[in-house]
Homo-oligomer: A and B are copies of this chain.
Amino acid sequence: MRTADDVRARFIAAAGEITQALGFGRNIGHIYGHVYLSARPQSLDDLCAALGISKGSASMSVRQLEQWGALKRVWIRGARRDYFEAGLELGRIARKAAADMAGRTDESVGELLAESERWLKGQRRNTRSPEDIAFLLERIHHMQQFRTRARWLLNSAPVRLLLKK
């Protein structure tokens, strides 16, 4: 490690590996890492030039990062381009990214569980395998309980504390 840019390069590469391992491509991490270590706001073209990525990818990645609060658009007087600087509330960013990931699925699940429960309860009388129905009901309830606890956790004090800032 001989220059400040070496520090940047390694940090950015590591950020890319992390976001890749987490299932958002490399570019997301590269972009955030680059802006995070930039003292001045960066334009889309800056990102493309600095990281060697396409404008299309930069545009889409930037939007996702914005939704997480990881990038903020800043307006520079009399400039036509958009500029971005890094959001620094890492906890909140992590929370939004995680919610983004989990949320893709979660909504439909509640409905599925409720519907299954309803049907199973209706079957208890007229089935030839009441034990099986009872077993399934038990499992559905078990799963619903977990979902309740998980929701509670997300609203608990310590979690909120970390994720505010």
Main secondary structure of the interface of A (DSSP, over half): helix
Contact (A105, B18) CB under 8 Å given A4-B132, A116-B11: yes
Interface flag for A49 (CB, 8 Å): no
Contact A115 B156 (CB under 8 A): no
Contact B4 A129 (CB under 8 A): yes
Bits for A1-29, please: 1 = Cβ < 8 Å to B, else 0: 10010011011001001100111000000
Contact residues of A with B, CB < 8 Å?
Answer: 1, 4, 7-8, 10-11, 14, 17-18, 21-23, 36-37, 39, 88, 90-91, 94, 101-102, 104-105, 108-109, 112, 115-116, 119-120, 123, 127, 129, 131-133, 135-136, 139, 142-143, 146, 149-150, 152-153, 156-159, 162
